[in-house]
Structure 1
Amino acid sequence: MLTLKEILENRNRRWTLDDMSPLRPGIHVWGMYAKPPMPGMTRLVEELSPVMLLDEQADAFLRLASKSGVRIAIDSDLHPSTHDGEAGVSFSAVISFAAFREFFCGDDEADLDPGVSALRSLLRWQTIGWGSAGADNVDIRFNCNLSAAPRVGRKST
């Protein structure tokens, strides 16, 4: 299993969506303001509740994100953001609200994956008022329970 120590020791490592899938994360999607009070900080749109995706929904999100036009943006911003003891770590990436709506909430007639179709519908309805509430960006948090995740990045001997 990938440990918190290994994650923290590899701060300069480039993390990607491919790293997230084996960790089986729960995913929280947060609405954010574009202009934080100080550089390097983020600011939540307080009146918005995050969308929480678990199990099949999180798997569908990872499948969709891996094949969508925003993959490069997610991969380039993905970084460890918080940790909770030895068992949990969060990875975060921020994309624009417009890109999120286009790639994760739009109808795609060519998509035959029923899990992805259901996810798109859920995200479309859960985030429908975010733009009018002031959300300019979306913070995607991959919350990983490392004690439950399979070992990644190492071959067994």
Structure 2
Amino acid sequence: MKHVWALCLKFIASLVLLYVILTLFFGVPFGDVFVLTLILGIVSYLVGDLWLLPRTNNTTATMADFGLALILIWAILAMQDNPPYASLAMASIISAIGVTVFEYFFHRYMAANVLEETGDEKRKNTGSLQYQHEASDELFPVSPSEKRDKK
């Protein structure tokens, strides 16, 4: 049930965000924004939130979501016959930036409330590596020939 709630939250927030950016500023029809949000939400939830986020950190997953959003938005908007908006590149970049800002906070929500850390699936904090040191009684190495001479 947590995943359904998270997916619904992601869809609604992305729909509002993309509606404001694409429909109000670039004139993209609401139906196209709805389909775009549906495809982008499902793909980024599976790839970025369920697969990449548990294996990496928030920054890496957010950067991957930016690339994914940019490519998907550009591709879906470019597939239309007569796009009613002026700049496809500008619309895609601004939309991807908006989605990325939302994804940063959504990843924090996912990590805290949806993703469960159990057993081997626990994420490791790579910022606090603990190194072990080796110690020996010998302060200076002795070559095999010196060992024979001492005997």
TM-score normalized with structure 1 length: 0.29
Higher share in strand: 1
Larger Rg: 2
Relative CO higher for 1 or 2, CA cutoff 8 Å, sep ≥ 6? Answer: 1
TM-score normalized with structure 2 length: 0.30
Higher share in helix: 2
